[in-house]
């Protein structure tokens, strides 16, 4: 609660300090999300360490309220081939800690090398090559610096700026955990979470890959977890006026329909509107998701590759929107 330890192993969070993807020490427990942030195809392993005899408070739309003393752990492993799974296909790259101290949340990035994770407050640039859909891609993976963590995790609350986790929201946690039991229900049963409504009444995000769900829900879920934390009134992208949170009406001007982004020139394609109904190729939203240059790339940090599946689905969803939703001119 007071030291920024030089080595991740100093915190003794895992039975085997070289394996932050399994076997957390008590009271650590793994948690899973329904939809995830895209980070160059990295697998993520998430753990919650909740102080003994303490409770979290349920929130309808914001991050679940967690007590001082909570530690969130997220480890990133990059694949050799995105079409394969398993530890033999992955290289452990970084582990991020979010520690809730008396002064607020603190982010600590650790970089793995030679089976040790060392504190890297300045971040790191790590070259990596993978196979994606049969194509070899070489890129530089960016471990964010401590200040860069704030770009996504900070939000304004009145005149104050708060640092907050992003992932542990009810709509992203409302799913079975690794034990097959709904995570929210299990925490409620263990007296670790209060204020939980009926589980079947909780609006729930879905994975991009869930082709049993409506495409609009898949798009809303993806944009929420990848973009919504900045594209909100309290976020870093508030001045854009674009709102991509899960509960924003997706057929609205604020969600981007026929909306011109202030201060953006449309890129090399010369596009004018965030979303042009029935015309994904004329829409800025998927265009910027596709770009890799610093000027046009969205999100601006956290990825060096384009997420082809997401871009395709977003364009298909825009193409499916009735033109009469908005006449962009």
Per-residue pLDDT of the chain (329 residues; tens, 9 = 90+): 999 999 999 999 999 999 999 999 999 999 999 999 999 999 999 999 999 999 999 999 999 999 999 999 999 999 999 999 988 999 999 999 999 999 999 999 999 999 999 999 999 999 999 999 999 999 999 999 888 787 778 776 766 778 889 999 999 999 999 999 999 999 999 999 999 999 999 999 999 999 999 999 999 999 999 999 999 998 888 899 999 999 999 999 999 999 999 989 999 999 999 999 999 999 999 999 999 999 999 998 889 999 999 999 999 999 999 998 877 87
Note whether 126 and 139 are within 8 A (CB): no
Distance of CA 131 to the CA centre of its chain: 23
Res 66: pLDDT? 97
CA distance 45 to 75: 5
- Going from the C-alpha of 15 to that of each of 1, 12, 50, the distances in angstroms are 20, 7, 17
Res 115: pLDDT? 94
**The residue to which tokens 């670790």 are assigned:** 192
**The residue to which tokens 């860069």 are assigned:** 148
Of 31, 38, 32, residue with least CA distance to 224: 38
CA distance 34 to 145: 27
Sheet of 90-101, strands arranged across: 28-31, 43-49, 71-79, 90-101, 104-113, 116-119
Is 211 exposed, middle or buried (CB count within 10 Å of its CB: 0-12, 13-18, 19+)? exposed
DSSP-derived pairing of the beta strands 56-57 and 154-157: unpaired
Res 27: pLDDT? 95
Res 291: pLDDT? 96
Quote the tokens at residue 258.
């026929």
Annotated domain spans of the chain? 1-203, 205-329
Read off the pTM: 0.95
């Amino acid at each position: 609660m007071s030291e920024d330890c030089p080595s991740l192993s100093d915190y003794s969070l895992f039975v085997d300090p070289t394996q932050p993807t399994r076997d957390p020490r008590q009271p650590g427990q793994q948690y899973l999300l329904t939809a995830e942030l895209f980070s160059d195809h990295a697998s993520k392993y998430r753990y919650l360490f909740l102080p003994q005899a303490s409770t979290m408070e349920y929130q309808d739309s914001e991050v679940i309220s967690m007590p001082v003393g909570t530690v969130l752990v997220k480890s990133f492993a990059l694949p050799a081939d995105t079409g394969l799974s398993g530890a033999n296909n992955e290289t452990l790259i970084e582990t991020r800690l979010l520690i809730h101290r008396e002064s607020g949340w603190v982010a600590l990035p650790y970089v793995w090398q030679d089976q040790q994770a060392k504190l890297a407050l300045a971040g790191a640039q790590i070259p990596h090559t993978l196979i994606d859909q049969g194509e070899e891609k070489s890129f530089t993976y960016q471990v964010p610096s401590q200040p860069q963590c704030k770009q996504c995790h900070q939000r304004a609350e009145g005149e104050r700026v708060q640092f907050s986790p992003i992932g542990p929201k009810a709509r992203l946690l409302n799913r079975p955990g690794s034990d097959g039991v709904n995570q929210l229900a299990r925490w409620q049963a263990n007296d670790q979470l209060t204020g939980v409504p009926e589980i079947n009444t909780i609006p729930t995000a879905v994975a991009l890959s869930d082709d049993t769900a409506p495409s609009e829900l898949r798009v809303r879920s993806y944009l929420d977890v990848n973009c919504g934390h900045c594209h909100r009134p309290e976020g870093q992208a508030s001045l854009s006026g674009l709102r991509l949170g899960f509960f924003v009406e997706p057929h609205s001007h604020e969600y981007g329909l026929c909306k011109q982004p202030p201060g953006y020139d449309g890129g090399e394609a010369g596009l004018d509107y965030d979303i042009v109904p029935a015309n994904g190729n004329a829409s800025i939203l998927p265009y910027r998701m596709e770009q890799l240059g610093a000027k046009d790339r969205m999100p601006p940090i956290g990825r060096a590759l384009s997420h082809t599946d997401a871009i395709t689905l977003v364009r298909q969803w825009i193409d499916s929107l009735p033109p009469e939703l908005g006449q962009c001119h």
